[in-house]
Structure 1
């Protein structure tokens, strides 16, 4: 629900610490348009990123915050000609979302226990949030209706599954940043591919099928030293991209 203006702190800090670095701050799908479907955002912003990548064939770094990190991963997995050195996912619901911390802003009166009734419908799948809403108590409906997350996570196999994995494996470094005091991404471990089981108990990434069976290449990235998990306590969701110390301590070291 925010816009590119909220990412200016990160942009200016990178430019300050790395003079001469070209930083692009994509300004598509701001405010209410951020509710447009994830695939639409992936394809539209992906064209921008592909154009940027073509100007920098040596490779680019990508930082995606919150929903933007999930859009960014979709772009990396979908566009084969984008050369990515480092992809930093900053508090993004990579394994899904099952928390109502922000729902009231967009969907007044909606609670997590019954949100599936909206999101797991054709209407609900016309919203970005519906595309990554993952109710642990309604897995079959999630698999039946969700058109985005189960596919880019290769939970449901498709004709593009091999490409989704191969394209992510091209990145030189994948950095997953999240923390226990986020209060929006639920569970917060989703930012590092952990998620609830059917009893709403968090299962860490390395015990998830997506890792164990290497559905999208996470285990391969990990075994080759290219996967980095950064857990940062004391940071609220709305502070990750507004805090210079976060940029200095957890972004810049991976952008050299």
Structure 2
């Protein structure tokens, strides 16, 4: 009888509905790319409400990041207004950075947990996937495009972080240095406080990603001026606790999940990834 009751308890625990979940797609795709994760959540935990945001699909995902933040923030606010218990939020690739910024830009948010699935949180310095959209773009000279008025109208330009041209990065980038509080603004305190409200900040990435460069950017690690990767705990962002990463980590609210052998375009299309590395953080 005891074994039967235990099995019944585990079954109920495994099938109980989660808090509502918001999904946000990556660059040059749309909500259809997140359907596997949506279906995975709904199948494994029936009754869970999943909002799969379709805003800024396709080429419109290249729009300026601040513009996207403003537009998608309204959608998130409309969703969370209907769920006083709070919601969980998962963003993939560029959507992971966009989603994180949406939280920071809305310090009164009611997001319970935020999952960043292979997002360029520390920036991007790799052109492999960009050749489809910026033909002829060379890694060494990409800063000439992205650190310009035209380049800052593009989402990629907003988080392009060239380790060999840091002065230009801080002089021209209108987005990433501010959301990471590397440059102080009148919103810096709000940006930090908003992340500290989270019950969990989960950062998922892996060494075989092949798109997010360096892959450690998915966990706030990045290159130094010599091109050597600095782990997140050795970055200025962490050491100075500019956006609350150190505080979250010390409170065991910052979770780093490193999964080897996963290509960038498999994170959101692999049931095993969903089962093992996403579902456990949606309770």
| Mapped partners of 1:39, 1:112: distance in 2 | 24
Please say if residues 169 and 221 of structure 1, whose CA atoms lie closer than 8 Å, have aligned partners that are also in contact.
Answer: yes
Residue of structure 2 equivalent to 1:145: 172
What is the aligned counterpart of 1:42 among 54, 57, 69? Answer: 69
Q: CA deviation at 1:80?
A: 2.0
Equivalent in 120, 138, 143 of residue 93 of structure 1 = 120
Match of residue 29 from structure 1: 56
Query: How far does the alpha carbon of each residue in 1:218-242 deviate from its partner, in whole angstroms, 9 at most, with x for none?
Result: 0000000100000000000000000
Which has the higher Rg, Structure 1 or Structure 2? 2
Write the distance in 2 (CA, Å) between the matches of 1:67 and 1:84: 19
Query: What corresponds to 1:180 in structure 2?
Result: 207
Distance of 1:119 and 1:248 partners within structure 2 = 37
In 2, the alpha carbon distance for the partners of 1:42 and 1:65 equals 15
Q: 2:267 aligns with which of 240, 246, 253?
A: 240
Provide, for residues 154-198 of structure 1, a one-character-per-residue CA deviation record: whole Å limited to 9, x for no partner: 000000000000011101100000000000000000000000001
Q: By how many angstroms is 1:81 displaced?
A: 2.4
**SS at 1:57 equivalent:** coil
Q: Distance in 2 between matches of 1:107 and 1:77?
A: 30
> Gaps (5+ residues) in structure 2?
1-27
Structure 1 distance, partners of 2:60, 2:37, is 22
Q: Which aligned segments of 4 or more residues in structure 1 are displaced greater than 3 angstroms?
A: none
Aligned pairs, how many? 256
Secondary structure at the counterpart of residue 90 of structure 2: strand
With normalisation by structure 2, the TM-score equals: 0.90
Trace 1:220-231 onto structure 2 (pairs within 5 A).
Answer: 220-231=247-258
For 1:87 and 1:171, the matched residues in 2 are separated by 7
Which residue is equivalent to 2:232?
A: 205
Structure 1 counterpart of 2:130: 103
* In 2: Cα distance, 1:199 partner to 1:99 partner: 16
Determine the C-alpha separation between the residues in 2 that align with 1:169 and 1:108: 40
Per-residue deviation, residues 116-162 of structure 1 (Å, max 9, x unmatched): 00000011000000000000000010001101100000000000000
1:65 aligns with 2:87: no
Structure 1 unaligned segments of length 5 or more: list them: none
| Coordinate RMSD, CA, aligned | 0.5
Q: Does 1:4 align with 2:27?
A: no
Could you tell me how far apart the structure 2 residues matched to 1:101 and 1:179 are?
17
How far the C-alpha of 1:31 sits from its partner, in A, is 0.8
